[in-house]
Structures are given as structure tokens and as C-alpha cells.
Structure 1
């Protein structure tokens, strides 16, 4: 039985784990329910124990299925990486490249960079994963990532983009109604847009200005995009990347001397991809585009691109 198992069986396992039912999993995969059921039966015969238990809420995974999940997900990531690698001729800037970036970077910054890149290289296909979760490059869940922390693994290569400045902003009409704060203590009289969880730059703000840790937030959101939307809607004072907020005439920066920090930004990829033309070209384009976004290109001496020797770790 072990010899007859293949990737499709583990793909079926993942689909049932994610959907909670055989019928929904079969629809997701474009299979018939009996075919998907046979895949699960084959896996259960191999491990010698049930993988799912029926309940009023659907199929519940057993401990065996839960233990198998990360291995099946690793197979899924490897299969996707293999398809991307096979999508390109060895010496051509073509095929598929998967990019992982935070919500804000992925939605507010990268589309313009990607559009220009594809104008120059029309045979490139980009998969953009905009998520605040860190996707593992070592497990090939993405080819290239934009990270706000320097990678430590030796198998990864990276380039430091620079520091993207962050400040506090509000809509001008909000400030006209409520007044412009002149000192940190004035924030107590304002509606503050805050974070549902403390990110690295939030902790940096609090270390510099402990008073912020005691502030009452009128709105909390775990999505940075939601916070920016609240600022743009005139909901109060919140934090935003300066290159996104400064061009907007409706927004005004407040307390620039007290409320300012930066997001150290890196473009990262697995060293095994450094000589793949499709990945090297996308890496270089992201690096240059993000440097322009951060304003780092004007302030710092330009660094080599991925076409030159990349730094490891």
C-alpha cells in the first residue's frame, strides 16, 4: 500500500483537513467524492489508524491526521516550487515567481513594481502572497520574500533595502475638528487608532515614549491595512508608512519629533535560486523598487544587486 501512495493522496488529506468534509474537499480538488474517499482510505490503511472522526460539525481530524499535516503541507509547497521551476526555460526571464510580503507592502507598494517588471518581461508570471505571516523560504513556500527583519539562516541570501520611515498621521479635517496635538500628552484628548497586537515598530515606539503604552485606543485592528483605512477615513490619529501618507494631501503628520521610527526592510530568497534568471530579475526589481519607496536610494550609497554577489544569511 505504501508503494501505491502518491502526492494526490496527501493533497486529498489537506483538502479534508481544510474543509472539514469529503464533499467540500472533493469540490475544491475537482474530484469525485468516492475518489477522494479512496485516497483517505489508502492513507488510513498505511498508518493503521483512522484519520478523521465524524461529528455533527463535520469530520474531525484525529491526532494521526494532525501529525501528518505539516509533512503534507511541506509536500504541497515542494510540489508548487517544482511547478514554478519547471515553468521557465533555464536561461529565460520567464515562468512563475512567488513573492511573499506583508499586507501593506503587498497591496500598497508592490503592484506598481510588478506592473513595470512585467512590461519589461511579459513572460513572467507573479504569484503575490500578501500576508503578515512569515512564509518559510526554506520550505519553498515562496521564492522571494520582503521581510522586516534580517534573515539568520545561512541558506538564505538577502539585501537590505533600508529603513522605511513610519510616523503618526491624521486627516486634516479631523485635526480641524479636534485640534492638532503639540505634545504627547495632548493625545489623551484624541481618538487613537491602535494595534490589536504589538508589532516590532510598536514596541520601538513604546520604548522611546512609555506614555504611548498607557494610551486608550478608540479603534484597535490586527490588520495594518484596516488601520490605514481608518486614518484615511478621518477616524483619528494612527501610524502609517511615511511614503504612503506623505503624498496624500488629505493627511497631515503630527508629532514628527516624538512619533517617528523606521522599518528595516530586506529582500530575501533561497540561495539555490540566486542563479535562476526569473528569480534574480524579480529580486533585483523588488530591491530597486523598494529602495525608491523607502527613499533609501537618495540617502545611502547604492548596494550591489542580486546580479552581483549576494550576502548570505
Structure 2
């Protein structure tokens, strides 16, 4: 029995559709459909009921899921241990980060490391999705909040200060916010609520409870662009915005929020020479920028 066939079936179960499974596996929907059909014909086992609404696991498939999960974990353990063998400073490192922090902070750090170590192949993925380090979707993650997997080793590496900003055009039209009145008459931009960013939305609601939210977005870059357009106030990273002439930081009755960024790596990978070298390098670089990341 080919493990790849079982892996495809497991991905369809987990993600609920052929297209979602294909994205997770890094392949195409026709390939997933063809491989799944061939697997069912070869084994004589019907694993899914097909309908317009999508694919539903049959009772047989549901009974096999636990075994497929164990097979996948075994295969991933073998892959991680092979990847963690002592090969020196060569091989690949995939880093996942979030939104502006990956673009503005991690990309330059990774480029410098890549310049020093030409045999290391580096890849940066900036995505709101939390990549699973245990399943090898990435090697190292830099993100706010905590890691919820037991086999992940994490370390606090940075603190990011945020402030409240508006464009000169917005302030000319609406005036400075009156925090004593709850910022009535003001417009604000909000982030979609996710656990790592809850402190930002809670802080803004606290100082401006009567302001009107005119837009929710899932990223800092979109917040920045909307604030620069002159339509609303926004909570933004000071590192990214303080030097911009297009926005002005507004004094607030409470200090701006601070998000803690943590680095996470799977315990099987942390002592690999290339991983260890990159993590040490990244931590040093972030320490050098600590005053920029969290200005007092």
C-alpha cells in the first residue's frame, strides 16, 4: 500500500474538499481526484460519498482515520530525523511569519543570513494561517502569541510597540480624538479578531468605545493603506509608521499596546546545525533592533 495514497485520503478528510486538500498538499485538484479514484479502484474500498456539497467519509474511511493519523506521524518523525541529521550549514530552512513582521523585519534578516551561508536555501512564507511545524509545513515560526503544540520549543524574541495613527487630512477634517467622550464622531479601523491580536482590539475599544468602526481587515498593510487614505484612525506598529510623513501618532491616555513575538521550532529540529545557526543569528539581529521594535 502506497503511503502517498493514504496521505491524499487523509488530506481530503481533514480539509473537506478536493481543492482544499490539493492546496494543503501543494498539488492540483485533478491530481488529487485522479489519485483518490485510482486508490479506491485498486483496493476495492469506497472511502468517500460524492455529492454536490462535497465529499463525505464513508464509515470505513472514518474507521481508518486513526490508523492513517498514526502512519502519518510515523512518516513525519522519520522525515524530521532525516532532515535533522548533522549536515553542517547546508540544506533548506522554511520560515513562516505574519504579515508586515515577516515582510519588514524577517525578510532582511533572512537575506543577510543567506548571503553569509550560500549552501543554505531559505524560504519565507508570510501567511495568516498558523503553519503546523510538527507536520513539516515549515521549520521555524516567528509570530505573536504562544504555540499550542507540546513538541514545539518556543522562545520570546521581540516586543512590538503599537500606537494610534491618523493622516493629517483626517485630523484636519475630524480634529483630534476626545478620549474623555469616548471618541464619539471618530472613525476607526479594526483587525479581525484572532488570539494574538486581541490586545490591539481590546486597547482600541477601551480608549475609543464610541468611535465607529468603518472597516475590518486581516492585516497591518491594509490598515496602513486605509489610514493613509484619510478615512479613519488605526492602531499600527511604531517601527513601521513613526518615520512616515503620511501619518501622525496621536497621544493617548493609556500607553500603546505591545505584542510579544515568539520563535518556535520542532524539538527534533532545534539542534540541527543550520537551524541552530539561523535561530542564533535571528535572535541577535532582533536584539540589535529591540529599541526600534519597542521605542520607549
Instruction: Give the aligned CA root-mean-square deviation in angstroms.
Output: 4.0
Q: Distance in 2 between matches of 1:70 and 1:241?
A: 44
Q: Give 1:111 deviation, angstroms.
A: 1.5
Is the counterpart of residue 165 in structure 1 residue 161 in structure 2? yes
Is the counterpart of residue 97 in structure 1 residue 93 in structure 2? yes
Q: Give 1:9 deviation, angstroms.
A: 0.7
Contact 2:145 2:196 in 1 (8 A): no
Q: Distance in 1 between matches of 2:102 and 2:67?
A: 28
| Structure 2 partner of 1:221 | 217
In the TM superposition, 1:1-20 aligns within 5 A as 5-14=1-10, 16=12, 20=17
Q: Distance in 2 between matches of 1:236 and 1:32?
A: 45
Aligned partner of 1:177 among 149, 173, 178: 173
Secondary structure, aligned partner of 2:145: coil
| Structure 2 partner of 1:149 | 145
| Structure 1 partner of 2:254 | 258
Q: Which stretches in structure 2 are left out of the alignment for 5+ residues?
A: none
Q: TM-score, normalised by structure 2?
A: 0.77
In the comparison of the two structures, how many residue pairs are matched?
Answer: 291
Is the counterpart of residue 188 in structure 1 residue 193 in structure 2? no
Secondary structure, aligned partner of 2:187: coil
Contact 2:84 2:269 in 1 (8 A): no
Contact 1:84 1:97 in 2 (8 A): no
| Structure 1 partner of 2:240 | 244
Is the counterpart of residue 39 in structure 1 residue 39 in structure 2? yes
Distance change (3 Å), C-alpha of 1:296 and 1:227: closer
Q: Distance in 1 between matches of 2:189 and 2:263?
A: 29
Deviations 1:161-186 (A, max 9, x none): 23210111122332233223253536
Q: Distance in 2 between matches of 1:194 and 1:123?
A: 43
Q: Which stretches in structure 1 are left out of the alignment for 5+ residues?
A: 301-313
Contact 1:87 1:96 in 2 (8 A): no
| Structure 1 partner of 2:50 | 54
Q: TM-score, normalised by structure 1?
A: 0.73
